Structures are given as structure tokens and as C-alpha cells.
Structure 1
């Protein structure tokens, strides 16, 4: 204690302080121009904070060097640490920073490293030429043409094959020109190959040189392709993973021989899992699997995703087998195969690879053998990406299984993701099946109306012209009607009927959905009947909506009298046109194949309704009826009206048709009508 007291008195005497009445401390400006090792005395109450400079580089620097900011950052950090160290030594550890200040400094250091030092140049940005301030001033003072030449010379120094690539580019411009003849193209390909021969490995990974090589593969003969392939065969995996060189592999798959394709597939062996995990190489693997592989080659790709050992050990007979057959042969391997698949799929679910048909095949295998807990986790991962997988056969089946095995909350998330995509989904071969599964499964019809039906009705004009979109319309009117849906597809939809999450009766669900679309459908048909009645898809849809109840009805389908009357009146108005037999511009509805079929079917069901189409036709076409006798189809239309219309309409029709006039015609329809009039 005495020694410390003496030391304190010595310091006070040295600095001129009085321990009894200490004077007010004077703040000093510290300059680091002198010797930094010299002792400086600081006041304890004075807090020292050293903040590194974050100033941007001046205009004199044309381009920041890639490591420039990293060096500056390291220098600032070292300097700040040195300043702190010297100041700490000067006060002999009297001012000790607390933990909060230390943490602030550490976070500041991490932030600087993140912002300045860790900056990465975008991959799609062209690498700019780095020059000094002196060269920049020289470039600014040059004319434009001289500057261009000077920059080219600078680039030539940085790139070893600059002149070679530049020479090839001039020939390449002629090669890819549409006006160049085939003979001249062959000659240009040979000239370019003579320049790059032996150096293709060094050029193929560059963005510009790679395009030249691809053009040679496309336009060159088999001899040039073989030479290029032999030179690059050892780099197949590296090129597949490259951003630019991968297009050479795609070109070789398209234009190469069967032997060369087999070499590429053999090179993929043992690397398929790693290729699928990268988005760029996954596109190459997908193209090879989906477009060019035969059954054996597809099997060699798929089997690698069942386990590491499957990549190297195959069955003795080399037979193509499904995962079901493999598990039947090796039951003990089931859990390991499913787990291996799960680990791969979890990694790529949220990546662009989720759109690939290869991924959908793997998902299909996983869903077939996974346990309930594994399925729940996978469905939870997939629920946001359902629109991205429904465009393939395997993908839409996976989407339907996700829908069937999801709770009401998860189903709502799935449907929300289709907002703005309903029309595109309706027009696709496989995707439209998912919407049909939604109509069969989801109990919340208000939700379906909000996210699906409103957009569907807004684009009804486009949808009913599509072979697949019209199936959705038929399903809303007649669910699972075998006239419009194949037996195999009905069996697929029935697989989801026993799911544990759908509680509402299917009849009630279909009736609620029909109530949402019945009035908009009738309004659209009545307004556009003059066009729709003559179209193949739309005319059958009109008949499906207005026809009488059948044994195929799943629910009690009712069209309001007002809407039915509007549609019947629109049909009658079209029939009131002047009848010209075999009109070249447009056939009369009575004579037109689609229109005649729809009108005949509706007239036959008139007796089952209070409002009858025959009444509307006779009322509007009274002056035209006799002219229909000249057409066989017209005679049958009159016969159907006579058989099913009201009594008053039948009297009007008999008065309009003279038996003597009908007897002049000898067609089958006229003969049957004559028998009915007697």
C-alpha cells in the first residue's frame, strides 16, 4: 500500500498536481507525428474511440482493385489496434474498456469486413480492365479510336490467347451469318479449327470462345465434331459444371453420335448427385435424362440417387429395374434408400432444380416408400412450390398426393400460390389435373372461388378453346363424367377420396362449386352463342350445361329458368337467319355439324323442362321453317320440335308445314316428318 501511495505522489509531483486540491484537467491534442513510443498522459474520464475511415476512393482511381479494399481494411484495423495498444501503455492500464465497448468494436470490425473486404463481383458482370492513375489520364486525353486500340493492347497483355480468339471471332461472325452458304460454312469451320487445334481445353471455359466452339459443333461435319470431342473428352464433368462450357455438352448430346453420347453418360457415372445439386449442371443432366437417354441410360442415372454403392455396383444381368423391384430384392435396404433420397431432395426443393422432370421422378419414388413422418416433412417443404412441379406427369401426381395428405391450412397455402397462374395451369396437359383434384378434395369452396374460380371465369374465352382447359369446365358441370374423362384418370382421382382431411360430402361440395359458375357460364354462352355454337369444344360445353339430368350426374344439377331461357333465346335467334343450303361463308345452324348436334340433343330433352327450346325456335323462325325442308338435317330438327314441343307450338308448326310440300322431298328426315304430320 505504501509503495502505491508513493508512486501516486511521484506522479502528482511530476505532473504538478496537488493531491489535496487537484486542478481541473486540461485536455490535450495528441499528435502521432512524433515518436509513438513516447509516454503520453491521458485523463481517466476521457474516453478514447478510434473509428476506421470508410471514405470511398477518389475519382483518380478508374477501377478498384479486387484486393484493394481488403488491404485498406486490414491496414485500418492494424492501425487502430496499434493506437489502442500505445494509448493503453501510456496510461499503464488505468483506462480499461468495458465489455460493451469491446463488443461494439468487434461488431464494427465484422461489419467492415462484410461491406468492404468481402465484396464479390457479380458473376454476370464483365471484368473491367484495371489501370493506374497515370494510364487513366492518358486514356482520357486520347481520341476515341486511339483509346479503343490502346485498350485492346492492354487486354492482349492480360489474356494469353487474345489474338487467337480475336481471329476466330472474325471468322465466327461470317459463320453464323444467315446469308453464308453451306459450302462456305464448312470451309470456315475447318479454318477455325485449324486455329484452335490443341488449345480447345484452354478456350472452352471462356464465355466468348465457348460460343465459337459450339458453333463449330453445330455447323461442322462429323470429323470436326470427333476431333473436338476427343480433345475435350477428359473435361466432361468440369465442362458440365461450368457456366459456359456446359453448352458444349448439350450440343454434343444433340449433334454427336450414339457412341459419343454413351461416353458422356459413362462420364456422368458416379457424379449424378453432385451434378443435380448445382443448378447449371442440373440443366445438362436433365437434358441428357429427358431428351437423349434410352431406358438403360436413364436407369444408370436414377440408380445413383438410391445410395452411394448403387453408383458402382450394378446387377449382374444389368436389367432395368424400378425402385419397387430393388426393394423387393433387398428389403433391408428400404430405410437407407429412402433416407438417402430424402437428404438429396431436401437440398434441392427450394432451388430451380425443383422444376426438372428428374427431380419429379425422385420425388415419386420417395412418396411411394417414405413413412408418414417423412411425408409430412417433405410436404411441408413442397407446399410453396406446387405450381413449379405440376407440368409433368410425375410432378402432378406428387402435387395431388401433397394435396390429399395436407390439412386445411396447408391446402390454403397451396391454393394461394396459384394466384395469377390459373389460366396457364388450365392450358397444360398435366397441370390441369391438379385443379380437378382441388375441386374433388378441398372443402372450403369459398377459398376455391376466391383464388381459382374467379380467375378461371375471367379467362373463360381462352380456356374453353383448349383441349385441357375444357375438361376442367366439364368437371365443374359433370364431375368425373366418362364422356369427357378417361377411366384411368378417374381411377387416379378416386385415389384421393379416402383422404383423412376432407370431411364435406362430395355432393354438397360439387353443388356449391356449380352454384358459383352456373350464372357466369350461362351469361357468357348467351352473349357469345353466335360463335360458341359452331366450335367443337364450346358447343359440347353448352350441351353439357343445358342438357337434362342423366344417370351420370353426381349431384342435383339445376340451371335457373331465367338463365336457361336466355340461352334458348340466343340459339333461336341464330336459327332465324336466312337458310342458304351449303353456304360457303358459314353453314346455317340447322346444317352445321356441331350446332345441329347440340340443337337436336336439347330438343329431345325439351319434354323434361318447363321452358322448351322448340317454343323459342318456332316463335322466332316461323317464316323460315318451310325452307329447312330442303335439308335432311333440317327435317330432323322439325321432327324433334314436333315430338317434344308444347301443344301450342305443335299446332303452329303443323300450320306452317304443308303436308303436300313435305311430300315433295324424299330424304329420310322428310319421310319421317311426313309420317308424323299425318
Structure 2
């Protein structure tokens, strides 16, 4: 009945307005009967006008309620644009409103929060004495009010508990942990409370940390897929969890049965098949669904997830599950930069590259291009680059998308220990002095998925990189012999090149070595010739000179003999290792140059006779012979 009355009123008002004003729009909703002069209106128009009237009434009620609540502090000038706003007064009113809202939210705890904040301000200062007493006082207030769980999840009070946990004695810390254990899952996901979890992991006892980890059972996948909680789960699994706890955390990915019923015998994915017969396909499908959920959530930068991913890829390459694995690998391609942060993740990324077809391999290279420098200089990430260089048939794509960008930041890669490994593989692949034989065999397993001959591919890559490295050495020859690790890379490069190219480098390097001020990085006091690593590098290059001499190519020994001054000879003869370098230099020369060497060193025979070193005695014999 009420609705009908309201409709009659609105119809009457619309009729009056239609008589006064005629609408010019042709597309209006108004309908006119030919029989009667009175205009009629559609239901849609009536309902819209009802809604507008209700919204206006609602705004009026809100204004009246605000006036009753806040009295004079409420001003009409907020809504009236004609009047000028008094900004200082407006800010004061806003602060008052904020305080009143907080008091309304925490009616019972508003006085307690004020008391607690006063103690917190003192406790957080470094120079505050008697912090144990303050922390006990603060803890008693929170424990009596039974508000610890409420305080942790709030944005302003979570810092108070974080500070209390940091400075409190161990007994109080254990009680706080027991109070907060029921809500650890929600704390991990909270924007503010997750900081309290990190402090608990840092300062809590081992028993309290193990209880915290056990409280997460049943919601591992939920936490791993969360933006905030995923990072904490990574630190828990990688640093804090014990061996048995790691097994329990992994089991939640395998099967829903193992979420509730933990079994320590199920340590790996293949152990989960023994629980139920003929359940391999079902378990693999379950693991795949959980991993795809994490990929879609972009939550793959996690050591726990990387281990599960590696287990899944290694298990699903046989039988019916191979098709599902191929589908899953396509999904994982955009996430490869997040996988190379751990050992298991880098290995799984290598498998993804191997099992991908040629088109998707190029897509992987394009994805890695933006992160290439970080991946090359990473402990585990550089292994993926080595696998790509070793297994990709398209060597032009390798030059365009890997070698050229690397050469732009050559100095950073050369001074990094993992970056040098990438350069070393490009120069002399599968060098057993640098790479472990097991790792070389692992990379060679991926050659099954490539068609080109191994030697041909490696020769093509070296031809592409040879001239680029020569130019970089010419720009800065001093860096090539700045330390032993870079020197090993240069010696490997000198072994591969030949002809006039090697002569130019030998001339530049010999100028640096023969100077009396030549010293190794981070060792100002000691001469470079006395450094163990640098001594090994020089011996290696001079031994290579013997084979070069037989081929009739340029050698480092010849260039050193030209540039060695009496001052540098005197410094080298005084040292045992210097004498041994000179012996190798003598052996690498031909007969004519050896005679020239003897004439120059006859002046230093007295110092060699007085020297107690064995190297000096051998060198003296060489000169006198």
C-alpha cells in the first residue's frame, strides 16, 4: 500500500513538470496516449526516481547523525563549496574524528593502549636502563587484559609486541609464543603481524621455533601462495626447519592424506606411491595442480617449492604423465628467472630448457635477456646459462641474446667468480680444472635434445667470442693479470688463439709483468711474482710457450726477455718463486735467445751464488751451462 501511494505522488509530480517544461529530446522514455491528454510514464522511470529520492533521504540522515555525534565540530562548510574552508580548523576536526573512531573501535582498550605506548616509547630507545623491568611491566599489562592476539594484528600495536619480544627475558618470550601459536597462520598473512613472526624466528628458543613450524601444518600451500607469507616460509624451510619438519612440509604437496596424517617414511615424491597401490598418476596430477596454482599466483621464488618442482619434473617424464609434464613446462617458462635463485630451482630450470621445443627455447632466451647479468653472476643461476650455451643449436641466437649483452658488462662479469665460469665455458668448455666432472656429465646429458655436433657448436661459439675478448683485453691489459683467478681465464684464452692475435696480447701483458711495481689486487706489500696463484698462472703460460715454440708461433717468454730490466731481474732473483719463473722462461726460449739470456744474467751471478734458495742454484746452473 505504501509503495502504491509513493508511486501516485511521483506520477503527479511528473505530470506537473511535463506541463511546464516540454522535453526536446526525441529519445525520452515518456509515453503519450492519443485518447487522453494526460501523459503516462514507464515503470523504469518511476523506479529510478524512487531510488534518487531514497539516496537523498539517506544523505540527510547521515548528516543529522554526524551532527548529533560530533556537535559543533561538524561544519556544513565541508559540503558547501561556496563557503571558504578554514584548513587549520579542518585538520583539527579530522584529528578529533580519528581519535573518536579509534575509541569507538577499541572501547575497552583505549586507556590500556595509551599506557602501553608510553612504556613502549621508553623500551625501544637504546640508552634506556632496566629494560628487563620495563618489559615485565609491559607484559603484565598485556597478559591481564588478554589482548595480545588483538594487538599483534593491529597496525599500531603490533610494533609494541615486536619490541617486547626483542627485549624481554626468555621466560616471557616462551609465554608470548604460546599465546600467539593459535593465530600464527593469520599472523603470517597479516601486513603488520608478519614482522612479529620474523622476530620470533630470530630471538625465540629452538623449542618455541619448532612449535611455531608445527602450527603451520595443514596450511603450507596456502602460505606458500601468499605474497607476504611465502617469503617467511622460504626462510623457515631453508634455515630453521629440522630434517623431519622439512619432510612434513613437503608431504602436503604430495597428497591430501599426508596433510593430516604425517609419515616420516615418505621422504620423497616416489615414496608417496607406496602408501596406496596404483596411485602414481593421481599423486602426480595432484602435485601438478598445486604447482600450477603457485605459478598462477607468481609465488615460485621459494626453496620449498623449487624442491617439489624438481621432484615432479624428474618423476613425470615416464608413462602417461609425460603429456601433463609438457603442458606444465609451457606454464613454467615465464617463471624461469624466479627459479634460478636456488640449487634445485636452477636444476629444474635446466630441465625445462631441455624439454622445451625450439620455439619455446628462443622464448626462454628473450625472457632471460632482461635478467642476464644477475643470472650470470649468481651462485646457481650461471649453471642455466652454461646449459643453454652447451645445448642450443642456434649459435647466432646465443651470440645475439647472451654473448653481446655479456660483453657490454664485461668488467662486472670478469671480476665475479660465477661470471668468470660463464666466460671460461665460452672459451674452453668442459675444462676439468675449472668444472667438476659430475657437472660436465650432467650438462652433456642435455645434448640428447640437440641435433648439431658438439665440437662444431663449440667452435662456432668461440669464433663469435674470440675477437670481442681480444678487444676487451687490449682496452685494459692490467686487469688480465690483476689476480690469479682472472689470470687462469686469460691463460685458457691464450691456449686457444694463435698467430698475430696472440703476439699483440703477449706484448701488452709482458709490459705489465716486467714492471717492478707489478702487484696483485688486495696485496700491496707483496710482489705479484711471490703470490702463489699468480706464480701458478705464469708457470702455466710459460709451459704453453714450449708447444707454441714448436709450432713457430709467438711466445710470452720472448716478449718478457725484451722488456725485463735490471731492476726487475734483481727483484725476481731475490725470491725463490721468481727464480723458478726465470728457469721456465729460459726453457721456453730457442737456442739463440737462450744465449742472449745467459749474457744478460752474468752480471747477477754473484747475487745468485750468495742466495740460499734452491731456485737460485738451478738458475745458476742454467746460466753456466
Is TM > 0.5 for Structure 1 vs Structure 2? yes
Where does 1:125-204 land on structure 2 (aligned, <5 Å)? 133-134=75-76, 136=78, 140=86, 143=89, 147=93, 150-151=96-97, 153-160=99-106, 161-181=109-129, 183=130, 185-197=131-143, 198-204=146-152
Whether the aligned pair in 2 keeps the contact of 1:436 and 1:475 (CA below 8 Å) is yes
Equivalent residues in 2 for 1:410-425, closer than 5 Å: 410-425=360-375
Structure 1 residues 667 and 44: CA distance shift in structure 2, 3 A? closer
- For residues 463-521 of structure 1, give each alpha carbon's deviation from its aligned partner in whole angstroms, at most 9, with x where no partner exists: 2332322221221122121111112322321221212xx11111121112212222232
Q: Could you tell me whether the CA contact under 8 Å between 2:251 and 2:262 is conserved in 1?
A: no
Match of 2:508 in 1: 570
* Contact 2:516 2:568 survives alignment (8 Å): no
TM-score (norm 1): 0.75
How far residue 602 of structure 1 moved from its aligned partner, in angstroms, is: 1.8
> Following the alignment from structure 1 to structure 2, what is the Cα–Cα distance between the partners of residues 277 and 667?
66
Corresponding residue for residue 611 of structure 1: 554
Corresponding position of 2:27:
48
The aligned counterpart of 2:345 is: 395
Answering whether residue 524 of structure 2 is matched by residue 545 of structure 1, we say: no
SS of corresponding position for 2:493? helix
**Cα shift at 1:148:** 7.0
The gaps in structure 2 that reach 5 residues or longer are 1-8, 45-69
Aligned to 2:252: 304
The separation in 2 between residues aligned to 1:397 and 1:458, in whole angstroms, is 27
Q: 1:544 to 1:145 in 2, by over 3 A?
A: same
Check if 1:241 corresponds to 2:189. Answer: yes
Unaligned runs of 5+ in 1: 1-30, 50-83, 96-101, 103-128, 548-556
Does residue 447 of the first structure (1) align with residue 391 of the second (2)?
Answer: no
Which deviates the most, 331-340 or 226-235?
226-235
- Please name the residue that 1:213 is paired with: 161
1:145 Cα offset (Å)? 8.7
Is 461-470 or 331-340 further displaced after alignment? Answer: 461-470
Alignment partner, residue 300 of structure 2: 354
Name 1:119's counterpart in structure 2: none
Q: 2:376 aligns with which of 426, 437, 442?
A: 426
Q: Measure the CA separation in 2 of the matches of 1:468 and 1:91.
A: 90
Deviations 1:648-671 (A, max 9, x none): 322321221228545555632333
* Cα distance in 1 between the residues matched to 2:506 and 2:17: 106
CA shift at 1:326, angstroms? 2.7
Asked if residue 268 in structure 1 is aligned to residue 247 in structure 2, the reply is: no
Q: Secondary structure at the match of 1:171?
A: helix
Q: Secondary structure at the match of 1:564?
A: helix
Indicate if the aligned counterparts of 1:622 and 1:656 stay in contact, CA closer than 8 A.
Answer: no
Shift in CA distance, 665/302, structure 1 to aligned 2, threshold 3 Å: closer
For 1:412 and 1:581, how far apart are their aligned partners in 2?
44
Please report how far the alpha carbon of residue 33 of structure 1 lies from its aligned counterpart in structure 2 after TM superposition: 8.5
Cα distance in structure 2, aligned partners of 1:91 and 1:221: 91
Deviates more, 1:256-265 or 1:431-440: 256-265
Number of residue pairs the alignment of both structures matches? 564
Q: Does residue 332 of structure 1 match 2:278? A: yes
Quick one: distance in 1 between partners of 2:87 and 2:554?
90
Three-state SS of the structure 1 residue aligned to 2:447 is coil
Task: Report deviation, 1:591.
Answer: 3.9
More helix by percentage: 2
Match of 2:456 in 1: 508
Contact 1:477/1:514 (CA < 8 Å) preserved in 2?
A: yes
How far the C-alpha of 1:597 sits from its partner, in A, is: 2.6
Offset of residue 173 of structure 1:
2.6
- 1:622 shift after superposition: 5.4
Partner of 2:336: 386
Contact 1:422 / 1:452 at 8 angstroms: preserved in 2? yes
Alignment-derived partner of residue 438 in structure 2: 488
2 CA distance for matches of 1:589 and 1:283? Answer: 45
CA contact under 8 A between 1:168 and 1:192: conserved in structure 2? yes
1:625/1:656 contact within 8 Å kept: no
Structure having the higher Rg:
1
1:228 aligns to 2:176 (yes or no): yes
Q: How does 1:48-127 map to 2 (within 5 A)?
A: 48-49=27-28, 87=30
1:150 match: secondary structure = helix
2:206 maps to: 258
Which residue in the other structure is 2:48 paired with?
Answer: none
Equivalent residue, structure 2, for 1:536: 484
Please give the alpha-carbon distance, in whole angstroms, between the structure 2 residues aligned to 1:505 and 1:465: 32
- Structure 2 residue 541 is matched with structure 1 residue 602: yes
CA deviation profile, 1:193-215 (whole Å, cap 9, x unmatched)? 23333112222221111121122
Alpha-carbon distance in structure 2 between the residues aligned to 1:595 and 1:259: 50
CA separation of 1:639 and 1:579: change in aligned 2, threshold 3 A: farther
Residue of structure 2 in register with 1:321 after alignment: 267
Q: Summarize the Cα distance change of 1:136–1:607 in structure 2 as closer, same or farther, 3 Å threshold.
A: same
Mapped partners of 1:386, 1:147: distance in 2: 53
Query: How big is each residue's C-alpha offset from its partner over 1:38-91, in whole Å with a ceiling of 9 and x where there is no partner?
Result: 898999997434xxxxxxxxxxxxxxxxxxxxxxxxxxxxxxxxxx5xx45968
CA distance in 2, matches of 1:510, 1:596: 30
Contact persistence 1:635–1:670 (CA under 8 A): yes
